[in-house]
Amino acid sequence: MTTQETKMNDIENSKSLTISLKMSADDQSQIVTGIASLDDANSLIIDCAEMAQFASDERTSLARRIDRLKDARKGFLAPAQQIMDHAKAMFAPALCALEQSRGVIGGKLKVWTEAQEAKAAEASRIAANAERKARAEAEAKAAAEMARAEEQAAAARRQAEEAEERRKQAEAEGNSRTAVAAAAAAASALARAESAIEAGAAKAEAVLMQAAAVAPLPVAAPTKIAGSQMRDNWVAQLKPGTSREQATRMVAAAAVGGRNDLWAHIELTDASLNKLAKALKGAMDVPGYEAYNDRQIAGARK
């Protein structure tokens, strides 16, 4: 018989199960009197040894009645439990497969999404590098234009200085015509120097403006899928080469050394504290805790 046929048989068997609600008169009486027992317990007053003994006997009687009702209840719960077990057996494989399928698809979506994000990040990095390179090239070209302009201006200034020297010499010799021509040459050279600087600055500015006007490379954003999204899920993990025991000792040492915020990360569970209190009783010494004897009454069933 195949697994599928077995599951189908389980379904048919579950359909045929019924719960019998026949109840004996004694069970009915126990249920009624059991419900009323709380009023009797609340009204009970223990004011002498006889009443204390009566109370103890009553507790024992109640324990027996509890056991009888639990046994009777099993007869009603067993068929229901059988149906529940069959239902779990029938639905478990499909539910398990569905959960695994969802996990598998989720894992594949995660890989794909992370790949898309990595691709977009790489494209953004390339675009940013290209933009920085273009800006650097433009700045270098602008600097070169200004350097050429400075060289031209420097040459023109030297010509102006030479012309000025000729003017002075001509005036000293009384040659006015030569002096006037030299003065004009000096003024023209100074004008060329100023014009070279202005032209160089204009060319440099034009280069920078042209580079700024170039649109950056378009970068496509990662594709968004409806119904699925990545969300941050920060978790702690051990550093490479560090064991959990080493980390625990490191946390404890840091806490003792003054890192008070780390005390909360030193594991002290309720179970471990209760175990320590049972072992040491009043001698238990844990900062912020004390041992308390919460006495409990224990009763017999026989």
Is the pLDDT higher at 288 or at 16? 288
Query: Is 149:215 a contact under the CB 8 Å cutoff?
Result: no
Model confidence at 68, pLDDT cuts 50, 70, 90, reads: confident
Mean pLDDT computed over 284-289 = 69
The top-scoring range by mean pLDDT among 9-18, 19-28, 264-273, 287-296 is: 287-296
Per-residue model confidence (pLDDT) at position 19:
42
Name which residue leads in pLDDT, 41 or 259: 41
The residue with tokens 């060329």 is: 192
pTM score over 0.75: no
Q: Tell me the two tokens of residue 108.
A: 């594949």
In terms of C-beta density within 10 A (0-12 exposed, 13-18 middle, 19 or more buried), how is residue 81 classed?
Answer: exposed
What per-residue confidence (pLDDT) applies to 262? Answer: 66
Per-residue pLDDT band at 194 (split at 50, 70, 90): very high
Q: How far is CA 136 from the centre of its chain?
A: 38
Nearest Cα to 164, choosing from 143, 186, 138, 188?
A: 186
Question: If we measure between CA atoms, which residue out of 288, 259, 265 comes closest to residue 276?
Answer: 288
Residue with tokens 């794909």: 112
- Give Cβ neighbours of residue 106 (< 8 Å, ≥ 6 apart): 228
What would the mean pLDDT of 47-51 be, rounded to a whole number?
89
Q: What is the DSSP string of the chain?
A: --HHHHHHHHHHHHHH--------HHHHHHHHHHHHHHHHHHH----SHHHHHHHHHHHHHHHHHHHHHHHHHHHHHHHHHHHHHHHHHHHHHHHHHHHHHHHHHHHHHHHHHHHHHHHHHHHHHHHHHHHHHHHHHHHHHHHHHHHHHHHHHHHHHHHHHHHHHHHHHHHHHT-HHHHHHHHHHHHHHHHHHHHHHHHHHHHHHHHHHHHHHSPPPP-PPPPP-TT----------PPTT--HHHHHHHHHHHHHTT-GGGGGGS---HHHHHHHHHHHGGG---TT--------------
pLDDT band for position 233 (50/70/90)? low
> Cβ distance 145 to 206 under 8 Å?
no
3-class SS letters over 87-124: HHHHHHHHHHHHHHHHHHHHHHHHHHHHHHHHHHHHHH
Q: Give the up-direction half-sphere exposure of residue 41: CA atoms within 13 A in the CB hemisphere.
A: 12
How confident is the model over 79-91, as pLDDT tens digits? 888 888 888 888 8
Tell me how crowded residue 189 is: count the other CB atoms within 10 A of its CB. 21
Q: Cα-flanking dihedrals φ and ψ of residue 174, to 5°?
A: 80, 20
User: Is-contact 204 146, C-beta < 8 A?
Assistant: yes
What is the Cα–Cα distance from 31 to 126, expressed in whole angstroms?
80
Percentage of residues in the chain having pLDDT higher than 90: 8
